Structure 1
Amino acid sequence: MPEHRHEDRVAQASQSPAAVTRLAASWRRSMVKHGLDPAGAPRVRQLSMRELVEKREALDGFINVARPQLDHLFQLVCPTGCSVLLTDATGIVLEQRMTEADAATFRGWGLWSGADWSEAAEGTNGIGTCLAEGRQVTIHRDEHFYARNTGLSCMDAPIWGPDGRLIAALDVSTARLDHTERWNALIAAQVAQSARQIEAAFFRASFPGARIVTAEVTGSEDAMLLIAVDKDDLAIGANRAARRAFGIEKEGQLRPRPASDLFGREDEVTGFEKAERAAVIRALARAEGNVSAAARALGVGRATLYRRMSRLGISQNPGRLSQV
């Protein structure tokens, strides 16, 4: 699509205060709120090395937890000419993964460590719009605000911290012309899964020594509820999905409260406990009764799993459970 047609389309869609689509609303924010011109071609804002180091140091613990998942995601998407980026909550790229052969191309696009891809700086784009709206997005080619970015396809998912606040965006971008919207949808699903895995791993790392109670939520973008319970059976942490499900503090440090206040009285079996019990039984079944293997799959220690089994009323030998 010629650039002037893209510019006209963006400007026209941004005219109405009552934008009828999320994309049009983002274009309008870019033009009206941030004062950007879709025909403009400013250079991508780049932090100095010192500024970038400070940004990374502020999230050092989170980045260390995220790196294995970044590497795994990159191994999945790098054969298709994609880059993997991790940003902070302001849209600054903190980590990058790309092949040496593609590095010059992505650097030319500004997809590089230290670059500012907030919506305020770059208008509608995968990273910035994901962070602005706090949801998973795919911005495909001419859905970008700037005409100069219409060669990109960007698949992004937000990552929420253990305090319920947005902490990062996970991005996979490509400039390949053979990447269709259907292909991008497959990548987007993997990005969302990787983002949830990073979020869960950081949540666990944030509450060392606590018992992590989990439950899956079918059909929700927040697929996993996580509650941290200490040795005194006090709930001391909850991820964003759990906070929403239980109607507790939306953000910030969780006020410690008896876990039973969330899960119900001891003589009641709540939906949350049923889900946890089902997850433990599934893990044991997949591990063919090997408790150690099931514990590894659930991301807990063997002793912790035995305690959960006892609390949930799961026999230590429903069939043949190996203690190896």
Structure 2
Amino acid sequence: MSAAQLPSVSVEQARELFFAQGRDPAPWIAPHISRSWQRSRPVDPQCIDPTPMAPSLLDERREQAMRLLSCAQPELDGLAEHAVGNGCIVALSDASGLILEEIGSPDFLPKAQRVALQPGVEWSESHRGTNAIGTALAEREALLVLGGEHYLAQNGALGCAAAPIFTGRGELAGALDISGETARVNHHALGLVRMAAQQVEHRMLLADASGHVLRFHARPALIGTAREGLVVIEGGRIVAANRVALDLFGRSWDGLLGVDAEEFLGVHWPRMEHRRSLLTLPGGRQIATVMERTGTASSGTGRTGARHAMAATSAGDDDVVRPLLERAVRVLNEGVPVLVNGETGSGKEVFSRRLHAASRRSAGPFVAVDCASLPETLIEAELFGYEEGAFTGARRKGMPGRIREAHGGVLFLDEIAEIPLALQTRLLRVLEGRVVTPLGGGQGVAVDFDLVCATHAGLPALVEAGRFRADLMYRVAGFTVALPSLHERADRRALISRLFLESGGAAKHLCLENDALERLAAYRWPGNVRELRSVLRALVALADAGDAVTADALPAHLRDAAPIADSGDFGEAATPQPNAPLQTITRHAIDEALRACDHDVSRAARRLGVHRSTVYRHLARQRPPAGNTKD
């Protein structure tokens, strides 16, 4: 037997031990493959390859990952040359493992599509078992998965090398992958994706930076390249760093983020700005450094502010969302369920994915279930799974269900208010006992996950109406995050500027003029960020490269709409006169709050600083019983 044959024989032996005998395959395969097979146990080894998600849904996911896509595009183009020459493909996924883009050999692309290795398919471990994309995300390391090391037998002809991509805060942003026939993927391909991922991280960190950026390396010639260390300082504290910086400082993200800059740079660190100097690290080692100040959001008009929007406004978006995210991470990490409340299109799923990426469960799966889109007849099977023959049309060998797929990660129940009342009791039992029993009987399976739910409806109002169990509400709403609607956000101008560039404005060198920005910021946006993205994509598509986009280019309904005021005057009802009765003024205030909150009673009460019962009494007076004309 040749040395070249030994790995294949070892993998075959490992598969026999694990899949046929249920024994530990660790002695026969790499440790990361052994760990991944164990994590992949809930996946049916005979599962059918999925079909890609609808193009409209994939477009939404691409929009959500626009920063990643724009920063990764040069690396995709660079790796494509290697891939085409070697009969391979290059794929970019988001943090959940969903493939966003794919490019490469025309000969191998059809083969990849036959095993669902294509855009619109999620290649997380919870969906596809052991594979380079999902396992690299789970292990947070660049790695190879070759041939029979894949969990699913139908992927045994693939060879894949993937590397995770991190933000400057240590959150997973996505993964880069090279895939081809097993013989064509090797450690050289792994080195290429590892270097490319480092380039993407470098580009993303600089694009997101606000405040001061410290560039450094032991070799001065490498400053300004993707191999330099980067640290971002805001308010005197380190808020972001790349992996090169972590290696040089001997710290983890947890050990570096939030540290006072003086600890590393001394009390006079602001004087380092725009100077080349030497920094002495603990232990006496010296490294070359350059300190730069990034652009800040401009309040000026016209082209100047827009030219710098990519670097200047990204932090502005976080001024509203980041504090909410940080608090939610803290409670989720303690096992407390988080309920994300917000209007349709306000970014509840985007927030929840960021929450997963920043949480203790970031290496585990993020399993999203849209409770509103599933027929009532299927939601029970989708959530809890089923045994073979549980009902007509059931898959052979059954299905584990989405709750079991979330084991070790985060279960995200979107629009949880839409779960039928009859199933709420069963869901409550699973959440309390952490044991799920599939339809058709069978033994209960213990599950361990953190829970995030989202809804645009007010659960207390549904409880009052008898449409949602109170005990389930208390179980899922351990901590509630109220996402503001777009027209309520103080940072909406900065957000609009950033999304304009991310929606293709930067690639076409477009400038969003101030008159257009003001009209966009003054619009009510009933569809929130989702509607805004669609409008911006249309503006970019209709503009020629280098254009200045003015208010005249906006759709008529945006040009003609009555503007909202930052003060909270929504212009939908006449303001009472100062000498009006107190009861009239009170009613007006409640009506205005309800309109501003899309008639969500809980949010309106929080906005007013009153108990929900006050708002309910007001609504009851507005809707008297038939025949009762008393106020």
TM-score (structure 2 length as normaliser)? 0.37
SS at match of 1:115: coil
How much is the aligned-residue C-alpha RMSD, in angstroms?
3.6
Q: Which residue of 2 aligns with 1:289?
A: none
2:232 to 220, 228, 250: 228
1:239 shift after superposition: 2.9
* 1:239 alignment counterpart: 242
CA distance in structure 2 between the partners assigned to 1:8 and 1:57 by the alignment = 43
Q: Is 1:200 paired with 2:202? A: yes
Assess, with a 3 A threshold, how the Cα gap between structure 1 residues 130 and 223 changes in structure 2: closer, same or farther: farther
Q: Which residue of 2 aligns with 1:310?
A: none
Shift in CA distance, 13/83, structure 1 to aligned 2, threshold 3 Å: farther
8 A Cα contact 2:99 2:119, kept in partner: yes
Secondary structure at the residue paired with 2:133? Answer: helix
1:301-316 aligned at under 5 Å gives the runs: none
CA distance in 2, matches of 1:115, 1:146: 15
**Residue pairs, 1:15-164, within 5 angstroms:** 15-16=23-24, 19=26, 21-31=31-41, 35-38=42-45, 40-44=46-50, 46-164=52-170
Structure 1 gap segments, 5+ residues each: 281-324
Distance in 2, matches of 1:44 and 1:251, equals 40
By relative contact order (CA 8 Å, sep 6+), the higher-ranking structure is 1
CA distance in 2, matches of 1:241, 1:14: 41
Query: 8 Å contact 1:14–1:24 — kept in the other structure?
Result: no
- TM superposition shift of 1:113: 0.6
- Once residues 82 and 214 of structure 1 are traced to their aligned partners in structure 2, the CA distance between those partners, rounded to angstroms, is 36
Preserved CA contact (<8 Å) 2:279 2:287: no
Check conservation: 1:161, 1:202, Cα contact below 8 A: yes
In the alignment, is the contact (CA less than 8 A) between 1:84 and 1:172 conserved in 2?
A: yes
* 3-state secondary structure, aligned to 1:275: strand
Deviation string 1:195-219 (CA, Å, 9 cap, x unpaired) is 10111111111115743423369xx
1:98-151: per-residue Cα shift (whole Å, max 9, x none)? 233432222112111111111011111111111111111100111111111110
Larger Rg: 2
Alignment check: 8 A CA contact 2:143 2:163 kept: yes
Tell me how far apart the structure 2 counterparts of residues 150 and 70 of structure 1 sit (CA, whole Å): 25
Cα distance in 1, alignment partners of residues 212 and 228 from structure 2: 17
| Counterpart amino acid of residue 271 in structure 1 | L
Compared CA separation, residues 46 and 6, structure 1 to 2 (3 A): farther
Contact in 2 for aligned 1:14/1:27 (Cα 8 Å): no
**For residues 262 and 191 of structure 1, what CA distance do their matches in structure 2 show?**
32
Q: Could you tell me the percent identity over the aligned residues?
A: 27
Match of 1:11 in 2: 19
- Cα distance between partner residues in 1 of 2:218 and 2:60: 36
Separation (CA, whole Å) in 2 of partners of 1:89 and 1:192: 16
Distance, in Å, in 2 between the alignment partners of 1:164 and 1:190 is 21
Matched, 1:165 2:167: no
SS in 2 for 1:11: helix
Between the aligned partners of 1:121 and 1:79, the Cα distance in structure 2 is: 30
What is the CA deviation profile of residues 234-280 of structure 1, one whole-angstrom value per residue up to 9, with x for unaligned ones? 6443235545746475299x5484x3322346699413983335x99
Which residue does 2:193 correspond to in 1? 191
Structure 2 counterpart SS, 1:100: coil
1:92·1:118 contact (CA, 8 Å) conserved in 2? yes
Secondary structure, in 3 states, of the residue corresponding to 1:276? strand
Tell me the amino acid that sits aligned with residue 227 of structure 1: V
Q: Which has the larger displacement, 243-252 or 98-107? A: 243-252
Look up the equivalent residue of 1:8 and give its one-letter code: E
Return the alpha-carbon distance in structure 2 between the equivalents of residues 89 and 233 of structure 1. Answer: 30
Q: By how many angstroms is 1:224 displaced?
A: 5.2
Alpha-carbon deviation of 1:186?
A: 0.8
Matching residue's letter, 2:59:
V
Quick check: 1:215 aligned with 2:227? no
Give the structure 2 partner of residue 309 of structure 1: none
Q: In 1, Cα distance between the equivalents of 2:230 and 2:145? A: 30
CA distance in structure 2 between the aligned counterparts of 1:249 and 1:36, rounded to whole angstroms: 32
Shift of the 137–224 alpha-carbon distance from structure 1 to 2, 3 Å rule, reads farther
In structure 2, what is the Cα distance between the partners aligned to 1:6 and 1:50? 41
Q: Does the CA-based 8 Å contact 2:40-2:130 persist in structure 1?
A: yes
State the secondary structure of the residue aligned to 1:168: strand
Structure 2 unmatched runs, 5+: 1-7, 220-225, 270-277, 292-631
C-alpha separation between the residues in 2 aligned to 1:171 and 1:248?
Answer: 25
Give TM-score, length-normalised by structure 1: 0.69
* Farther off after superposition, 150-159 or 90-99: 90-99
The number of aligned residues is 263
